[in-house]
Chains A and B, each alone.
Chain A
Amino acid sequence: MDRWCEERAVARGAVVSLDQCWRLSQVWYPGRLTPDWRRMNAMETQAAFESVGLTGEFWRVG
């Protein structure tokens, strides 16, 4: 991963397990199939990240 970042001159970001991403997907996406869905506000988004262990400056949304 460090080599990939170096070759593209990008800073290393956040490394997340597939299981964390899967759990985040389950709170993030399915509601879009219901008419009453609305985009999460910053506080709700932050809570969704934190619910799967995504914390720290990288995951701060506002």
Chain B
Amino acid sequence: MFAIISRMPALTRVAIYRHLIATGRAPSVGEIAEQLGRDVTEVERDYTELAESRVITFAPSTRSIWMAHPFSARPTPYRVESGGISYWANCAWDALGIAAMLGRDTRCVCRCPDCADSIDLSVSGGAVRSDAVIHFVVPAWRFWENVAYT
């Protein structure tokens, strides 16, 4: 026995991430459908499947991408700059995740939520530049209970 598994959601996922990397902005279903030469309803189905498998998260009460980890489609306190493009990360860890996905130097300075001092989350030459720490509040097994709060 074997299962036939469509590769289309995977190709849609790759297209979403490539769009995010190229522009810093989350693509609409229409943009991805046009880029891949596919029907909008098919790509909508892919978006739903990607959301159900927690690859992307829709903004509340919408079918628009809010998060495609490590990227956020909405402004956050974690703005990452690289190659002349601005990105938003969901959290401090994701600011580093964007650097990992881009594979190039990034600059990101955020504010400590406790003392408001600036914290350098930049990556340069394949290494972080700060000796700061990140406080994870929610244990790993509960990360997906509320993906906006870890």
Contacts and interface: CB of A to CB of B under 8 A. Distances in A.
B100 A29 contact: yes
Interface in B56-86: 69-70
A14 B141 CA distance: 13
A49 B133 contact: no
A1 B135 CA distance: 8
Given A4-B113, A39-B55, A22 B99 contact: yes
Interface of B: 7, 10-11, 13-14, 17-18, 21, 53-55, 69-70, 92-93, 96-97, 99-101, 103, 113-114, 121, 123, 127-128, 130-141
Interface of A: 1, 3-4, 10-19, 21-22, 24-26, 28-30, 32-37, 39, 45, 49, 57-62
Contacts of B133: 15-18
Nearest to A17: B133
Given A21-B92, A33-B14, A35-B7, A13 B139 contact: yes
Contact of A22 (B13, B101, B127): B127
A62 B96 contact: no
Nearest to B12: A35
A18 B10 CA distance: 30
A39 B103 CA distance: 20
B134 A15 contact: yes
A17 B100 contact: no
Shortest beta-carbon contacts, A-B, top 5 = A25-B100, A4-B114, A13-B137, A35-B10, A25-B97
